[in-house]
């Protein structure tokens, strides 16, 4: 299945088809997306190209330039990821977190995408943490990241030391589905 992408111009209300070209051979179904410091969109993972079954991830990444409307292939990740998460760090780099290599097989390797150099590097081994698909992550004002789901226990990630520490547990258990938002004033966890 090929997926489409559209660019919306809020000033004019115009919608333009900017679907990725088939030549990328990158099925972006269930990928992660983040907007970089210059407005470029970085897409990580998705469904393995031509896979007859749902749930097999890809190591492919892509970049979309909204100024030109063009897609380009990005650097390959070290592991395939289906349902990963991208979290932007205060310096502009993005962490690539979680994602299934194949159904039920998660790899805890975290990687960092640098928009400036267009490169992906693995985080140190101390950052490795196996998580369920699409972990919900926010950057806190002090630079730490907080993961608030899907697992019941929140976790904090310190990017400067590449380490995790346990946070509070949700009262009602794990959150497998649903949306999330970091509300003002809740940054003192």
Reduce the DSSP state of residue 101 to 3 states and report it. Answer: strand
CB 34 within 8 A of CB 86: yes
Reduce the DSSP state of residue 24 to 3 states and report it. Answer: helix
Global model pTM greater than 0.85: yes
The predicted-structure confidence for 100-139, as pLDDT tens digits, reads as follows: 998 888 889 999 999 999 999 999 999 999 988 889 898 9
């Amino acid at each position: 299945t090929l997926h489409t992408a559209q660019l919306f111009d809020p000033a004019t209300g115009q919608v333009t088809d900017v679907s990725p070209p088939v030549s990328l051979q990158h099925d972006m179904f269930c990928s992660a997306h983040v907007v970089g410091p210059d407005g470029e969109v970085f897409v990580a993972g998705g469904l393995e190209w031509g896979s007859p079954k749902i749930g097999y991830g890809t190591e492919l990444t892509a970049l979309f330039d909204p100024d030109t409307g063009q897609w380009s292939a990005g650097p390959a990740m070290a592991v395939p990821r289906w349902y990963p998460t991208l979290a932007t760090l205060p310096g502009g780099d993005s962490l690539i977190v979680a994602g299934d290599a194949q159904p039920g097989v998660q790899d805890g390797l975290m990687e960092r995408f640098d928009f400036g150099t267009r490169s992906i590097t693995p985080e140190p081994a101390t950052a490795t943490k196996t998580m369920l698909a699409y972990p919900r992550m926010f950057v806190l004002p002090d630079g730490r990241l907080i993961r608030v789901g899907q697992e019941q226990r929140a976790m904090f990630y310190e990017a400067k030391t590449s380490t995790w520490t346990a946070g509070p547990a949700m009262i009602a258990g794990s959150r497998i589905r649903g949306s999330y938002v970091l509300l003002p004033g809740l940054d003192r966890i």
